[in-house]
Structure 1
Amino acid sequence: MGKWWRRMLVEKEELWYRVLKARYGEEGGRLKEGDSHCSVWWRSMNRIHDGVGEGVGHWFDNNVRRVVGNGRGTSFWHDIWVGEIPLKFKFLCLFELSVDKECSVEVMRTGLRAVVGRERLWRRRLLAWEEESVRECLVLFHNIVLQENVEDTLRWLLDPIHGYSVRGAYRFLTTSVDRFPLVSGLALARYIFCLTC
């Protein structure tokens, strides 16, 4: 099921993704978990993704980073594309004031750099200390060069060269038993079996 989570982050134009999006909705560039009426498969997908009851936490999200190319496929606020946490947590006040909480890196970069029209990014006029946070956001772009013809990609931190594999996820989870003592042998076997789905 780890493979499905990877595909959900990259294959957003495919029919199967659009069906899931229509069924469960999308928030922050990701499919919503759904309610109590969602399918057993979808509940299992979310449990595996979150690591619920398995002792390994958000193992998938913790091992994936966005690599920005043109900035169109990366959520400015929700994805981890710079630093170690999503910017919605680092700049919580600006996130709350943002008009478009789903905007891409490209859209926000253009908006923040604009001399005229920057105020349209926010629900109200910013206070002086909030403007300082905006300047901090602009500093993030000093080391980021958007490349018009390069799509945004994902980097699997456990194997940045070859990318995601069931073998790599298996290796991570089986060696995680030492780091996460709550993982029992039976729970780990069930968890790993679900990875191969």
Structure 2
Amino acid sequence: MNKALLGKWNWCFAIESEALWKQAISHKYGVEEGGWCTRDVSGRHGVGLWKAIRKEWLGMYNSLAYRVGSGRRVRFGKDKWCGDEPLCESFPSLFAISLAKVVWVSDVWNPDGVGDGWTPIFSRMLNDWEIEMVEQFMLKIQAFRVQREDEDKVVWTVSRSGVFSVKSLYSILEPGSSALFPYDSIWRAYVPPTVAFFAWEASWGKILILEQLQRRGYSLANRYFLCLSKAETVDHLLLHCVKTRALWNFLFSLFGVAWVLFGSVKETLLG
């Protein structure tokens, strides 16, 4: 099999695997209206990996915007699709009297299907002092049009391209210091993926240790079982325990180098 054909086969397999993975997750947890993400995971069983991932959706939601196509998957008042904030935040008083609180963009775009134009409906007659606000409202949404033959798209506003990247997510998680994260030492090192993922978890202080169980509300004594002198933290377990330091010193002696370990796993990888 030539390399070009092998590359295409791997690419198709990756796409099919991703599609099957999305289908399995969606089938297990269900999806919210619009289909952009799954529903909240409320069960207490299982490893909780997707539950932890799903919790980050609200934090990422502020960095998402929507590019309207057909308008069938974008909420008219509550999604960010025509500016830097949703219409419910730009025009809260109009949103309060609007009958379009829980409708899709397509429902407000000429629902009769004759011609093109926006047709928002309010629950009462407008007062004189509200006319100017309605004019501003209409000017804002008239800059956008629904294209019924196109698909709605989600845009990652943190990057210039609008495409999600792990690097841009780091810039949100650690503002001003994302460049100091040791991603080269983790993801570009010639190590098995499981080792790289463990290093990534350790750098964020998220590996499963007694300290993490305490943070989750478990009442227990926190002592590292190898030394019984210090609390079981990520940095103590991997760097500063006397048993661990003996392994580090043995490793350094094999290469004939002298090395001073830093205070944290992240600083050590950066060093």
The TM-score range, normalised by the shorter chain, is 0.5 to 0.7
Alpha-carbon separation, structure 1, partners of 2:128 and 2:38? 36
Alpha-carbon separation, structure 2, partners of 1:136 and 1:21? 38
Alpha-carbon separation, structure 2, partners of 1:30 and 1:174? 20
Give 2:158's aligned residue: 158
If asked which structure has higher relative contact order (CA below 8 Å, sep 6+), I would say: 1
Alpha-carbon separation, structure 2, partners of 1:85 and 1:158? 14
Alpha-carbon separation, structure 2, partners of 1:126 and 1:15? 48
Alpha-carbon separation, structure 1, partners of 2:177 and 2:89? 30
- Please give the secondary structure, in 2, of the residue aligned with 1:100: coil
Q: 1:81 Cα deviation (Å)?
A: 0.9
Q: How does 1:1-197 map to 2 (within 5 A)?
A: 17=26, 20=29, 38-40=42-44, 41=48, 44-45=52-53, 47-50=55-58, 58=59, 60-110=60-110, 113-114=118-119, 121-161=121-161, 163-170=163-170, 172-173=171-172, 175-176=174-175, 178=177, 188-190=204-206
Q: 1:66 Cα deviation (Å)?
A: 0.6
Q: Which deviations, in whole Å up to 9, do the C-alpha atoms of 1:124-180 show, x marking residues without a partner?
A: 22222333322222101332132221111011123454722445424x25652649x
- Please give the secondary structure, in 1, of the residue aligned with 2:123: coil
Compute the TM-score of the two structures, normalised by the length of structure 1.
0.58
Cα-Cα RMSD: 3.8
- Greater Rg over alpha carbons, structure: 2
Q: Which deviations, in whole Å up to 9, do the C-alpha atoms of 1:80-133 show, x marking residues without a partner?
A: 11221111111111111122311122322437745xxx6xx2222222233332
- Please give the secondary structure, in 2, of the residue aligned with 1:136: helix
1:174–1:188: 8 Å Cα contact kept in structure 2?
Answer: no
Alpha-carbon separation, structure 1, partners of 2:92 and 2:24? 34
Alpha-carbon separation, structure 1, partners of 2:203 and 2:30? 30
- Please give the secondary structure, in 1, of the residue aligned with 2:154: strand
Q: 1:89 to 1:96 in 2, by over 3 A?
A: same
Deviates more, 1:104-113 or 1:128-137: 104-113
Q: 1:48 to 1:177 in 2, by over 3 A?
A: farther
Alpha-carbon separation, structure 1, partners of 2:37 and 2:135? 28
5+ residue gaps, structure 1, are: 1-13, 51-57, 180-184, 192-197
Alpha-carbon separation, structure 2, partners of 1:83 and 1:147? 18
Amino acid at match of 2:52: S
Alpha-carbon separation, structure 1, partners of 2:118 and 2:161? 33
Aligned residue pairs: how many?
A: 154
Q: Percent identity?
A: 21
